[in-house]
Structure 1
Amino acid sequence: MSPIPSLPSREEVVRMARNTTDITGQLLDTAGNLTRIAVNTFDPRDGSGAEVLRVLRETTAELAEASASPQAQEAFYRIVETLTRLGTTGAPLAVHPVSEPAQALLTALGDSLLPVLDAVEPAVEEAAEALGELVEATSPLLPAAAGVAAGVLLAAAPLIRAAADVLRDSSPELQRMADALTAALAPLLPLQVALAERAAAAGVGVIRVTLPPLADLTEAGAAALKAGRPLLVAGEELVVSGLEHLQPVLLASASRAGRVARAVAVRVSAAVSPAAERGVVVAVHPA
């Protein structure tokens, strides 16, 4: 039997009561400070309270005016209509018999992917950070890219509208095509199912036979890679050192090419507009 716990002594009871009183006092002080801040903020005798109320009234009035405009009402109507369509379309899918195996498949995929996601999480975080730095570095190009994308979309909008009109006008022909394809493919489905079952059985046998040799080959490749790791490191070191030695040559070549291009540009501009400054001959010799 477990021993009966002893009752607290008088000193412990006094200490717990004192701690409880201190905590209650601190809570009351905090509540008093919050009340004082609220009273000082909304005090009509001070300028801050009236200013806060005035800003709230103006903001509420502007929001009411903006939401009462025809454009806002049309936008709200479109949002509600879109949500209604989504709900009407998605409700039959949720209770369809096909949804049960689909949900089971999603559950199995989720259970299988969780270890993979846990394993690749550090690499994904590192890649996301590097991608963020790349986007931040290329941020000056983003407005130009956005402008080009907007121009392409504007140029493609008439084509998309024309295609939609053509397809809308050709709905009987499209229905005939769909009926013809259905009538042609329906007799082939049982044959395809039988062939798929035979292919699956043959594939299972092939996989069972080839997995052990493949495992042996993988182990041998891993052992060879581990043994040749010094050679790989030496090769990487050689490539990096070669790039380091090649960098000054590339910089000098780029600088020389830039000087030659500037000299050619000056000569071409002087030949194209000789009447700009008569009597002045510009000669630039590449270093």
Structure 2
Amino acid sequence: MATIPSLPSRDDVLRMARNTTDITGQLLDTAGNITRIAINTFDPRDGSGAEVLRVLRETTAELAEASASPQAQEAFYRIVDTLTRLGTSGAPLAVHPVSEPAQALLTALGDSLLPVLDAVEPAVEEFADALGDLVEATSPLLPAAAGVAAGALLAVTPILRAAADVLRESSPELRRVADALTAALAPLMPLQVALAERAAAAGAGVVRATLPPLADLAEATAATAKAARPMLVAGEELLVSGLEQLQPLLLAAASRTGRVARAAAVRVSAAVSPAAERGVVVSVTPV
């Protein structure tokens, strides 16, 4: 049996009434401000309202005069005619047989891309967050990078201008080069197309021949990895346990090395400046 919701308390009722009153007051203040702005705009006493009405009247008259001209009427007729032609010529495309493969292609692309986008979305979000952190961390370097880029652009500008002047002066030679290249490459285009078709056919044959062995190899690799998974997990556990056992030894060795280095530094300092403290003998024994 469903439970009956509890009634709001007196404080909740008062809070809701106060919020409602505040919102109503804000709406009334906004409406009053809008009304005041409209009255001040069109008030004939200070001349602004009459000026606004005069400008609106002149603008409307000019628009009416411009739209009544033969040129405007012809332009309107041409726009309507163009829209009508587009509608009558574009409507059959929706029911044309060519549109069915296009719709099928779009549907297939959408169905194929949605799972990919869903799978990539967390990685993209993480990458965006990491990129934002990187940009925020490198923000002190951005002014210097901008200055270097501006200097590089200023240095390259004279070179570009000189190159543009040279090319502009050498336009006849450039046309001769273009004509020579066109005359030399035009007979080779049909041969290139034929070779591209043969290469595409050969590539398709190679792909068809190599896909089954690749599928077999992928299945065998997956089966091997599945069979060797316990060994891999055991090896990882041995490696981690070995690192855990070596950690105290490494820490102890690092600490001992640090103490020896400090002792050597003290001895070297005492040997270099023996007159600094004649009555003090410093002796450090490594543990």
Q: Name the TM-score, length of structure 1 as normaliser.
A: 0.48
Computing the radius of gyration over CA atoms, which structure comes out larger, 1 or 2?
2
